[in-house]
């Protein structure tokens, strides 16, 4: 029988939720009070006004909801932010076209969604009637802003969430719930004078510290862009055909990345062993078999072929 919410203090509920998050394999859990993200509003407005979203027109939708989770979830009180490590223990061979490390295993949307459902079920079973929604990259939620606000890391100059202990190779997800909890506080910025990510970006997508022009990012060109890749990008992709990890690979904090412990993120051996020749000879039938549960399904076979053709024109 569920415990009445009124019988325990917020601190007890908070401790329970963080313990459950750890049990489910999340790297860390931070909690913020749901409300309007005042500091993010002008940043998002400027980013959109400067058309840094490129053809990602969905970023222009639900502007108010993006900044205020109480418009997404009725009577929401708390944003529970969670990190899930995806740093692999095995990597692609050197003679291959490159895909982002997050795509080595199964599609994270499904993996994380299941964990969030279980977390919400545990909360409801133990605490009582708690309403909420789980978010994994699929709704207008500024996940990096909420994760930073709840002390899980700081926004780096490459706009990724960074932590001193494990770098930045992790997914961010949220539970937004109608339960008052104890709230965490933001941490400090530890980028210092480092400009490694800015200097390394081959397309100059990091236009200034902490500002990334999404329409110039290799990840945007290889995943989000539906048209042909602009010819002026020729020679700048460094063999990336799905996503890009350059700004993370050069970040000094990622020296502390540790391999994940999630079996569903284990690297697909067939993918790791593929050579450039294997990629070029890839048929649609093989693509569907090898990448059946992979994030690469997002670009479809046609997108991967377009990216390969662009590199080999």
Catalytic residue among 46, 74, 137, 309: 137
Q: Which domain holds residue 308?
A: 1-313
Q: At what angle do helices 10-23 and 108-127 cross, to 10 degrees?
A: 140
Place of tokens 């909801």: 65
Q: Looking at residue 2, what is its pLDDT?
A: 47
Strands 211-212 and 132-135: unpaired
d(C-alpha 253, C-alpha 100), whole Å: 18
Strands 154-155 and 206-208: unpaired
Strands 240-242 and 98-99: parallel
Query: What is the average pLDDT score of the chain?
Result: 93
Q: Residue 4: pLDDT above 80?
A: no
Q: Looking at residue 86, what is its pLDDT?
A: 98
Instruction: Decide which of 44 and 230 is more confident.
Output: 230
Instruction: Decide which of 133 and 53 is more confident.
Output: 133
Annotated binding site: which residue ranges? 66, 137, 158, 161, 172, 191, 194, 197, 201, 217, 219, 226, 244-245, 247, 251
**pTM of the model as a whole:** 0.93
d(C-alpha 218, C-alpha 228), whole Å: 13
Cβ(56)–Cβ(220) below 8 Å = yes
| Closest C-alpha among 154, 130, 144 to residue 174 | 144
Q: Is 213 a catalytic residue?
A: no
Place of tokens 């662009």: 310
Tell me the pLDDT band of 309, cut-offs 50, 70 and 90.
very high
H-state helical runs in the chain: 10-23, 40-49, 63-67, 108-127, 143-149, 196-200, 218-219, 246-249, 269-272, 276-280, 284-290, 300-312
What total of structural domains would you count in the chain? 1
Q: Looking at residue 5, what is its pLDDT?
A: 55
Annotated binding site for cob(II)alamin: which residue ranges? 66, 137, 158, 161, 172, 219, 244-245
């Amino acid at each position: 029988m569920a415990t009445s919410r009124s019988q325990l203090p917020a601190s007890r509920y908070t401790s329970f939720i963080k313990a459950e998050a750890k049990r489910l394999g999340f790297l860390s859990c931070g909690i913020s009070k749901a409300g309007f993200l005042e500091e993010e509003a002008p940043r998002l407005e400027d980013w959109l006004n400067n058309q840094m979203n490129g053809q990602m027109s969905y970023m222009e939708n639900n502007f108010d909801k993006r900044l205020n989770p109480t418009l997404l979830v009725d009577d929401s009180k708390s944003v529970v932010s969670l990190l899930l490590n995806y740093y692999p223990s095995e990597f692609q061979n050197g003679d291959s076209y490159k895909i982002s490390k997050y795509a080595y295993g199964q599609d994270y949307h499904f993996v994380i969604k299941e964990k969030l459902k279980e977390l919400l079920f545990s909360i409801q079973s133990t605490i009582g009637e708690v309403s909420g929604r789980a978010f994994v990259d699929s709704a207008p939620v500024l996940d990096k802003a909420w994760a930073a606000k709840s002390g899980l890391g700081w926004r780096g100059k490459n706009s990724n969430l960074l932590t001193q202990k494990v770098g930045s190779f992790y997914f961010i997800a949220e539970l937004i719930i109608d339960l008052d909890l104890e709230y965490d506080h933001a941490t400090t910025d530890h980028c210092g004078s480092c400009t490694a990510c800015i200097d390394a970006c081959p397309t100059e997508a990091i236009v200034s510290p902490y500002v990334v022009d999404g329409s110039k990012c290799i990840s945007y060109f290889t995943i989000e862009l539906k048209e042909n890749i602009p010819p002026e990008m020729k020679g700048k992709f460094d063999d990336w055909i799905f996503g890009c990890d350059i700004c993370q690979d050069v970040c000094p904090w990622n020296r502390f990345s540790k391999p994940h412990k999630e079996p569903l993120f284990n690297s697909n051996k067939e993918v790791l062993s593929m050579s450039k020749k294997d990629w070029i000879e890839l048929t649609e039938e093989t693509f569907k078999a090898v990448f059946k549960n992979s994030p690469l399904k997002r670009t479809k076979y046609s997108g991967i072929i377009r990216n390969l053709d662009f590199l080999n024109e």
